[in-house]
Amino acid sequence: MSSRIGSTEYADRMAGARQRMEEVGIDCLALTAGADLFYLTGYKAMPLERITMLIVGAYGEPTLVVPALEAPRVQVLDGLFRVHPWNDGEDMVGVLACALRKASPPNPTIALSEQTGAGVLLALADRMRHTRFVGANRVMRELRMRKSAAELDLLRDAAAAVDAVVADYKAMRWAGRTEREIADEIGVALRGAGHETVNFVIVASGPNAASPHHDPGLRRVEVGDTIVVDVGGTKNGYCSDVTRCVAVGEPAPGVVKAYASLRRAQEAAVAAVCPGARASDIDAVARGHLTDDGYGGYFVHRTGHGIGLDAHEEPYIVAGNTETLESGMCFSVEPGIYVPGEFGLRLEDIVAVTPDGVTSLNTAPHDIVVADPTA
């Protein structure tokens, strides 16, 4: 997959990482396969036992240490970094330790990707006794949390793709099919809408919807069911994520009443998003509305999560997170009501903080989608 982000933006990202390293006292940044590495290089490394590592240090130019057999996949934008292939049979940890030492002053602090396997970290720590290893998040989170105009365009495009899939829910056949069959059909539709990968398809019907992350199974959808449908994929590197509820025939009065409350809570939480608000404030607004209506005890998760190159990233919209929201931050607002043994409901949009408020990237209608029970 080629990146839709321009080479100037990559140069800015690298400069931003270097500046942040200086601010927080990091001598060397060591990124292994994952979104941080992709963010700085546009290269999507395979998360394998053969390690790929981008090293941005005090000395020398940024270097991508990469398994030789994967080197042909690496595209270097405008000399942003150099490529150092290593061969099978070489001492991998020795190669990495040597490259890290070359890029670092004595007794360095090295910021290593959190996703790096503990085995690799332990082996490196053993070879590099006078090194302090810390998490790369302290360098990368500040950069990745604030989306550029180009990133916002890509997130909006991913949201439009998933909304196009939602638009087809009404015409789909639901009654009599298993959750898994329906999930498979939606997965194909996500790819058809331009996602290169399907990250998850939750189809949780009837009482199964009371479990927020239900794994679609062999239950057949019945007339009268309400179904939580939460889907997301990756399009041009950026993630989509949307939840709507489908009812097969008119939903029961208890479901209608709960959904009306959920909708008000979600709307109020979105409306509370603006620069200067705290992440925890948004969670409190959604939770407050549901608590006032008697559903507080059934809202069992945080209100949202940031989204970008990862489906879940910072900022997390959760009690206790006092992070101040800023223009360019992008996250889900997705309160839910889960009544064990009975039903579940969730409503989710991705929103972006603007200079003077908020904009929703998802534009699919918020009503329960009522599907034809005879289809």
Beta bridge partners of 57: 28
Report the alpha-carbon distance of residue 362 to residue 265 in Å, rounded. 17
Q: Which one of 151, 179, 241, 281 is in contact with Zn ion (CB under 5 A)? A: 241
How many residues bind Zn ion (CB under 5 A)? The answer is 5
Report, in Å, the least distance between residue 350 CB and Zn ion.
8
Which part of the chain contacts Zn ion (CB under 5 A), choosing from 23-31, 94-102, 173-181, 224-232? 224-232
Decide if residue 332 touches Zn ion (CB under 5 A): yes
Report, in Å, the least distance between residue 229 CB and Zn ion.
9
Decide if residue 314 touches Zn ion (CB under 5 A): no
Decide if residue 283 touches Zn ion (CB under 5 A): no
Decide if residue 281 touches Zn ion (CB under 5 A): no
Q: Which of 201, 254, 253, 206 is nearest to 227 (CA)?
A: 206
Which part of the chain contacts Zn ion (CB under 5 A), choosing from 1-9, 32-40, 46-54, 346-354? 346-354
What ranges in the chain are assigned the alpha helix state H?
7-24, 35-41, 92-103, 118-127, 137-145, 149-166, 179-192, 253-271, 279-292
C-beta of 243 vs 266, nearer to Zn ion:
243
Decide if residue 349 touches Zn ion (CB under 5 A): no
Between the alpha carbon of residue 52 and those of residues 66, 99, 108, 203, 293, the distances in Å are 5, 12, 21, 36, 51
Say if CB 209 and CB 338 are below 8 A apart: yes
Report, in Å, the least distance between residue 61 CB and Zn ion.
38
Report, in Å, the least distance between residue 312 CB and Zn ion.
7
By CB atoms closer than 10 A (0-12, 13-18, 19+), residue 16 is middle
Say if CB 360 and CB 270 are below 8 A apart: yes
Decide if residue 131 touches Zn ion (CB under 5 A): no
Q: Which one of 27, 230, 283, 349 is in contact with Zn ion (CB under 5 A)? A: 230
Report the alpha-carbon distance of residue 319 to residue 161 in Å, rounded. 31
Decide if residue 234 touches Zn ion (CB under 5 A): no
C-beta of 230 vs 310, nearer to Zn ion:
230
Report, in Å, the least distance between residue 232 CB and Zn ion.
6
Decide if residue 303 touches Zn ion (CB under 5 A): no
Two tokens, residue 234: 């990756």
Which part of the chain contacts Zn ion (CB under 5 A), choosing from 6-14, 154-162, 222-230, 273-281? 222-230
Report, in Å, the least distance between residue 268 CB and Zn ion.
18
Interacting residues of 318 by C-beta distance below 8 A, sequence separation 6+: 279, 280, 283, 302, 303
Residues of this chain that interact with Zn ion (CB under 5 A) are 230, 241, 243, 332, 348
